[in-house]
Chains A and B, each alone.
Chain A
Amino acid sequence: SSHEHKLNFRKSKEACLSYIQDALLQKQWKRAAEFLTCYVESLEKDYSRELIGPSEMIWRIGTEILWHHSQSSMKEFNCFMEQMKTLGVKRYLKVCLEHVFHLLCNGQIDEAYQNLSLAESWRFGEQTAVQDKEMKLIEAYRGLLDYYRWYKQKNILLEHSEDGFSDLAVEQEMHGYFRKAAVNLKEIIKIPGVWDVFVKCYVDLLEFYGDHNEARQVLNEYAYNSKFPANPNAHVYLYQFLKRQGESKKSLISALKILHDIVPSHELMIDFNTMLQKSKKRKKRRLGLEVIFAALDYAGWKENAKAWSCLARQVKQIVISEKHLDWIKQEWNSRKDWWPAFHFSRYLAKRNWQENKSLSYEKALVAGILLGKDCKYFRYVSHQGCKAQLKRFRMLKKFVNRHNPVYLRISG
């Protein structure tokens, strides 16, 4: 009966698919390709109402095989992709986009550009609206490629101007690329998402043409619009822009303060700390201490000598001036039950000493002040340092011993 036939057909189709899957997962591309030629038959009698139909499967599997098959060529790949585009209207733009990606990764930028332009003009009734997201991406990527062309022209122009003559045609072309790129890039970065590349390029364009207000607005929007994800890069770009613009310390600090609130472990926290330490305001210096303590809470900073030297410097300053010991005390309060095991264990003392002497020096200074001269870390490192007759470490020992009462005040 036809029902049975359908069942059998489905079964053999599934079996074939599982063989292909098996071959793919074992990187047996040749075998997979052979099975795929059999599987193509399933297109003829497509009874399935599943979300991923056979045509999509063939596209995905075929692409994967062609990526890896030893005998495949770019020409074959392009040919296959063109066929796949015609095979399914529902994912036409997605296939286009993937095709473009492959071309880009293989350095065929011009072909990719052509494909993007073609895809951009694709219209297919309702389907165009359904695939709106892909369409926006296609436009954005074309904008990106336009940007790269603009960039190239700009460099040519800059070289020429150094040589002392201007090329009007090149300049015209460059402005043309700018317009094309700007239109498309502007569109995509309005939609919530992660658009680091597009934002960077767009801001670069704007800055070149002196539209700083627009650039600032774009970056502010990208960083502070609550519909966008909390992307640390958005704040970094804003900070870098402000820095380029020569903005006041205050606005730089406020930009970094927000980054600190989102990602206390960001690498810019070192800059932030140095900036704050230099400040004359007590509040700012206080914040600086907080920032560096918070950064060192993270496992990724454990062995960051720079961060430890920042902390050591500030702690040393406070101890010498004997003012604001309560700052240290407050920071230390929420950490004293786990920092000793996390940072100042004997095991770490040994390892840090072996791997990075200056790190162990900074850490020993902090440990000596926070935990007193009897702490394991300080004792081990200062002992090793004195044994190795390093002057620095002898000074360190003296310093900590002299300021040991501080420890009592902090821990008390």
Chain B
Amino acid sequence: MEFPAALFPSYFGAGPPREEGGPAPVAGWGEHGQVLEGGPGRRQAQPAFVPRRGATGERWEATDAAAVPVLLPSAGCWIPSPAPQDILYRSGLCKKLRAGKSGATLDFARQLGHFFVDHPEDAFGSLGQLLHKNFYLGNSKLKVTVSRNSTIRMTALVEDIDRLEARRGCPRQHLASRLRWFSHLCRDWLFEVPLGLLADCLHEELMQQWSNLLFDDSLTGGALAWLPPEDGGTPVGRLVHPGGQAMNHLYFQDVALEELPRARGSPAQFELSGRVRQVAAARVDGEDFVGVRSDYHCGVWRVPGRTGAAPTPLQVIRTDVPASCLTVSPHLPGELSVCTQSGTVYLWSVGTGLQQLRHDPQTMFFRDHSPWRWSDFTAHPRVLSCADRTGLQCLDARAPKKCHFDLFKVGEEAGCQQGERVVLPMYLGRAHPSQYLVTTQFSVYVLDERLPLVPVLKWAHMMKAPPLFAHLMPGNPGRSHQVLLGASRTQELLLLQYRGGSQSACQLAGTPQKLHSIGGCLQHLPTQLPHRQHLLQQRLTAPAAGLAATLQEDGPHKSMLVFQLSEAGDVFCQRLTHKAAQPPAPPSRDEATTAPGSSPLFEAPASSPQGLGAAALRYHRWLRALSRACRESPRHTWHPSLSQRRLFTRRDLQGPAGPSNLQRQMRQRLHQAMQEGGRIQRWEPSAIQPPPLPQTLEPAGGPDPLSARLTAAWAGDWEQWWEERTSFSVAQRQRALRERRRRQKRARGHRSLSASFTSSLTYQSELSELSDAGPPLLSPGRPPILSQEGSPPAGSPAVRSPPTSPVPDEALLSSQSLRCRGIPKERRKTLRDYLSVWAEGPPEPPELPGSQASQLCIPSSQSQLSSASQPRRKRPRMGF
């Protein structure tokens, strides 16, 4: 491990950053920075100088005019996260008034209003019922009766509110006196939750959502990983990415590296109990270790190197505070580092558990409010870096309190600007064992741990949004290393090259290059109908959520594949080919290709016999699948999927096991008929003892229904007979339904880890005793390695409950039947309402009152997403 014999000159100061600044749009251009003598042959007649920035780099050219989808869009529409207009106060008048003033106004009142309308039970529950009689909702005047004294006419109040709404934003608005009087009177007691408390919670949530919109650091690191094929093996790598409507499914997809990467086979799939925020991977001893972070859970999978081998989940931990970082050790198998937002850093090894290295809610070098923490590995497998917004420190895991040093400080040491903050640190071990990348919102730094605090490379990246993702592609010795930076909100992708670190000092090579973003393909796509266009635009410009890339060498041809993941779960890819060094770059086609308006992507290349390029075909297929997925989606909104687990007890759902004798017989006959190619003219009684009518569902061998009914009527308990009959048919139906679902599930063949996430050993990560007590013991009963077949218990919710038979049996709704089925009284109405929703067919969405929906479903997290949020996507999901 050599250290450059001479470094580029630089000043070194200490203390807080002095340079004022801000986002500078062109700060990265036109500077060599410094020069150093270091030509190939030293001490010639004339010294040869090399610049710190501006040396020639490798030439990479995009092969296509836009990024191309790798995977088809998943079924089910994507739920966009809240947009600024969802939570900001918008009013033409208000905007004018505030023009020039900076700062956004959160629309607090609207959100509170939403809450009252959507959750009246939670907001007013008991008092609403008590006051039921005292509120008159009619239009006519109240008659002078006894009730006059104790009843108020709400219509007038509502009118007042409407009028107020119309005058909203008017600087001279006055509250209607009636409203003021009413609110004065009942503000203190009307609400189920004290209004002040509720408002605090809501405000906190709104602020949270808004700050997430401005900068969402939970995505730091990115949720996309590429597991390259083994050296010399078939060119089939593996893409690890999240998917599903809630991004809570983890996929391991085999991808063949052809001209355009192509998904091969169906992916290995795991269902997790939270949104996947980060996927990190590292290869140790020929095996890939994949760490997955969601807010409160982190998991690790092992993926054997050979293609086709199934990934194995190894261990899951749960944290009380959201985790903000998960990185996988490139040195030791099954070692990871975890940080939580409470300022705790753990070294997590699959064999021995968690070891707390640091717990400090304060930031390191100066005070910063952000709870974000990060940690990564360094050249020494026992030394970890840990970072917050103010800088990086390295800790020795063997004595974390004593042995540490500062690696990077936001300050004069690195020549930072005021207000600069660390966004993403990354260990560049694959390029050089002691190098480190640190990005801030303004600049990108390369550090060498052997020379801490002084960046060996610094460059203002000029990106519009802070780079949350980075990917390194190490070059061969002597060649330049490629670093990709990616931003989330703006989807920017930037390719940088640098070299040096051991024999020569670090240099930035070539000019930075912008790569295609997902949204960039929009201009090349054929024109769509306006609303489709809007959907497409929304989908394609969704914030990026991850970045991965790989170098592919095919003899003399070298190319780079860059994958980008969007929040909608789309994975797009672009190929860049390496051009041999051509010192004077000819003004080639690149000046023309990306001129707006033209779309070379969809022009038929003359050489292609099919008429359309592979990329265009890819797009056609993707667009078709997308429109299909989106056409399906409205149906979900009409059919709120409800968790039946809460409505019925498990016993209720227990039906007779297996198909009945009769069914079996019928099936057999059907089968036989199909084999013989014959037909069944009528369901004639077979040898055994068939029931006379096909639609009856009584168990074979019972008396015919008519006589049974007559007998019952004669005996006087006809009602009970009816009940028995209906309950039987319900049970039958339930069983069929369950059977179908089981079949579907099996067909999907996914392996669910949701249960293992919750049932696995959980570390109370924030417990203080953990810090000194060493690695916690595994709970003795459970093996640390989870079975991958660990399917959830029967009651665990599936992705979406398949819709039941649309018309429920009327009898099911009768209160007697409900009572005798042991359904408590308070649930009966809910159930009836629920079933009537099915019965009425698709109701108009605006007419489906939010209250009803929220009251009806006590859904699992998934069904909540599809039922409650989908119809009213414009409103952000508040934590209620």
| Chain A residues in the interface with B (C-beta under 8 A) | 17-18, 20-22, 24-31, 50-52, 56-57, 59-64, 67-68, 70, 98, 101-102, 104-105, 107, 109, 133, 137, 140, 144, 148, 151-152, 188, 191-198, 200, 227-233, 236, 262-263, 265-267, 297-301, 304, 334, 338, 341-342, 345, 347-348
| Chain B residues in the interface with A (C-beta under 8 A) | 1-14, 20-22, 24-27, 29-37, 43, 45-51, 54, 285-286, 330-333, 379-382, 398, 413, 429, 432-434, 450-454, 462, 494, 511-514, 584-587, 590-591, 594
CA distance A24 to B325 in the complex (A): 34
Chain A residues lying within 8 Å of B382, measured Cβ to Cβ, are: 297, 338
Beyond A24-B511, A27-B585, 12 extra complex contacts between A and B, CB < 8 Å: A17-B25, A26-B590, A51-B21, A101-B49, A193-B10, A194-B7, A229-B453, A233-B5, A266-B1, A299-B381, A342-B381, A348-B285
Which 4 A-B pairs give the minimum distances between C-beta atoms? A63-B30, A300-B1, A300-B433, A60-B30
Main SS of chain A's interface residues? helix
Contact between A70 and B587, CB atoms less than 8 A apart: yes
Chain B residues lying within 8 Å of A299, measured Cβ to Cβ, are: 330-331, 379-381, 429, 433
Closest to A110 in B: B46
Contact between B379 and A196, CB atoms less than 8 A apart: no
Chain A residues lying within 8 Å of B330, measured Cβ to Cβ, are: 299
CA distance A232 to B27 in the complex (A): 31
Chain A residues lying within 8 Å of B35, measured Cβ to Cβ, are: 101, 104-105
Contact between A17 and B398, CB atoms less than 8 A apart: no
Contact between A341 and B1, CB atoms less than 8 A apart: no
Q: A57-B26, A194-B12 are in contact. Are A25 and B514 (CB under 8 A)?
A: yes
CA distance A299 to B383 in the complex (A): 11
30 contacts between A and B (CB under 8 A): A20-B26, A21-B462, A25-B512, A30-B591, A50-B22, A51-B20, A57-B25, A60-B29, A60-B31, A63-B30, A64-B511, A68-B511, A70-B585, A104-B49, A107-B46, A152-B45, A192-B12, A194-B9, A194-B10, A194-B451, A227-B14, A230-B451, A230-B452, A231-B7, A233-B4, A266-B3, A267-B3, A298-B380, A301-B1, A345-B285
Q: A232-B451, A233-B3 are in contact. Are A197 and B26 (CB under 8 A)?
A: no
Partner of A148, one of B22, B47, B453: B47
Q: A104-B35, A229-B451 are in contact. Are A28 and B513 (CB under 8 A)?
A: no
Partner of A193, one of B11, B49, B590: B11
CA distance A26 to B5 in the complex (A): 35
Contact between B512 and A62, CB atoms less than 8 A apart: no
CA distance A342 to B377 in the complex (A): 14
Chain A residues lying within 8 Å of B434, measured Cβ to Cβ, are: 265, 298, 300
CA distance A265 to B435 in the complex (A): 13
Chain A residues lying within 8 Å of B27, measured Cβ to Cβ, are: 52, 60
Contact between B24 and A52, CB atoms less than 8 A apart: yes
Contact between A347 and B37, CB atoms less than 8 A apart: no
CA distance A196 to B36 in the complex (A): 10
CA distance A299 to B331 in the complex (A): 7
CA distance A399 to B684 in the complex (A): 89
Shortest CB-to-CB span from A35 to chain B, Å, is 12
Contact between A105 and B49, CB atoms less than 8 A apart: yes
Partner of A52, one of B26, B31, B33: B26
Most chain B Cβ neighbours within 10 Å, of A152, A192, A196: A196
CA distance A27 to B582 in the complex (A): 14
Chain A residues lying within 8 Å of B429, measured Cβ to Cβ, are: 299
Main SS of chain B's interface residues? loop
Chain B residues lying within 8 Å of A152, measured Cβ to Cβ, are: 45
Shortest CB-to-CB span from B249 to chain A, Å, is 31
Contact between A51 and B25, CB atoms less than 8 A apart: no
Shortest CB-to-CB span from A316 to chain B, Å, is 24
CA distance A26 to B413 in the complex (A): 33
Shortest CB-to-CB span from A189 to chain B, Å, is 10
Shortest CB-to-CB span from B23 to chain A, Å, is 10
Shortest CB-to-CB span from A70 to chain B, Å, is 5
Chain A residues lying within 8 Å of B45, measured Cβ to Cβ, are: 152
Shortest CB-to-CB span from B596 to chain A, Å, is 11
Q: How many A-B residue pairs have CB under 8 A?
A: 199
Partner of B26, one of A61, A196, A232: A61
Closest to A31 in B: B591
Closest to A100 in B: B35
Shortest CB-to-CB span from B633 to chain A, Å, is 35
CA distance A338 to B585 in the complex (A): 50
Contact between B24 and A51, CB atoms less than 8 A apart: yes
Q: A21-B26, A265-B1 are in contact. Are A137 and B381 (CB under 8 A)?
A: no
Chain A residues lying within 8 Å of B34, measured Cβ to Cβ, are: 101
CA distance A194 to B7 in the complex (A): 7
Contact between A64 and B380, CB atoms less than 8 A apart: no
Chain A residues lying within 8 Å of B587, measured Cβ to Cβ, are: 29-30, 70
Partner of B494, one of A25, A62, A230: A25
Chain B residues lying within 8 Å of A61, measured Cβ to Cβ, are: 26, 29-30
CA distance A334 to B380 in the complex (A): 13
CA distance A336 to B379 in the complex (A): 18
Contact between A26 and B20, CB atoms less than 8 A apart: no
Closest to B1 in A: A300
Chain B residues lying within 8 Å of A98, measured Cβ to Cβ, are: 30-32
Closest to A269 in B: B1
Contact between B30 and A64, CB atoms less than 8 A apart: yes
CA distance A55 to B511 in the complex (A): 22
Chain A residues lying within 8 Å of B5, measured Cβ to Cβ, are: 196, 233, 236
Chain A residues lying within 8 Å of B594, measured Cβ to Cβ, are: 26
CA distance A233 to B36 in the complex (A): 15
Chain B residues lying within 8 Å of A140, measured Cβ to Cβ, are: 9
Contact between B3 and A232, CB atoms less than 8 A apart: yes
Closest to B330 in A: A299
Partner of A338, one of B29, B381, B590: B381
Q: A98-B31, A200-B6, A266-B450 are in contact. Are A192 and B13 (CB under 8 A)?
A: yes
CA distance A44 to B295 in the complex (A): 53
Shortest CB-to-CB span from B727 to chain A, Å, is 61
Contact between B1 and A267, CB atoms less than 8 A apart: yes
Closest to B13 in A: A192
CA distance A316 to B43 in the complex (A): 44
CA distance A101 to B459 in the complex (A): 17
Closest to A155 in B: B43
Shortest CB-to-CB span from A48 to chain B, Å, is 11
Closest to A340 in B: B332
CA distance A236 to B7 in the complex (A): 13
Q: A107-B48, A197-B36, A297-B382 are in contact. Are A347 and B591 (CB under 8 A)?
A: no
Contact between A197 and B37, CB atoms less than 8 A apart: yes
Chain B residues lying within 8 Å of A27, measured Cβ to Cβ, are: 511, 513, 585, 590
CA distance A236 to B43 in the complex (A): 21
Chain B residues lying within 8 Å of A232, measured Cβ to Cβ, are: 3, 450-451
Shortest CB-to-CB span from A204 to chain B, Å, is 11
CA distance A148 to B429 in the complex (A): 37
Q: A230-B451, A265-B450 are in contact. Are A298 and B1 (CB under 8 A)?
A: yes
Chain B residues lying within 8 Å of A148, measured Cβ to Cβ, are: 37, 46-47
Chain A residues lying within 8 Å of B462, measured Cβ to Cβ, are: 21
Most chain A Cβ neighbours within 10 Å, of B21, B450, B454: B450
CA distance A62 to B26 in the complex (A): 11
CA distance A194 to B13 in the complex (A): 11
CA distance A192 to B12 in the complex (A): 5
Shortest CB-to-CB span from A193 to chain B, Å, is 4
Q: A17-B25, A25-B494, A61-B30 are in contact. Are A195 and B9 (CB under 8 A)?
A: yes
Shortest CB-to-CB span from B416 to chain A, Å, is 15
Closest to B383 in A: A297
Contact between A341 and B333, CB atoms less than 8 A apart: yes
Most chain A Cβ neighbours within 10 Å, of B21, B330, B514, B586: B514
Shortest CB-to-CB span from A159 to chain B, Å, is 13
CA distance A64 to B25 in the complex (A): 14
Most chain B Cβ neighbours within 10 Å, of A26, A299, A304: A299
Partner of A233, one of B6, B286, B331, B453: B6
CA distance A194 to B584 in the complex (A): 34
Chain B residues lying within 8 Å of A50, measured Cβ to Cβ, are: 22
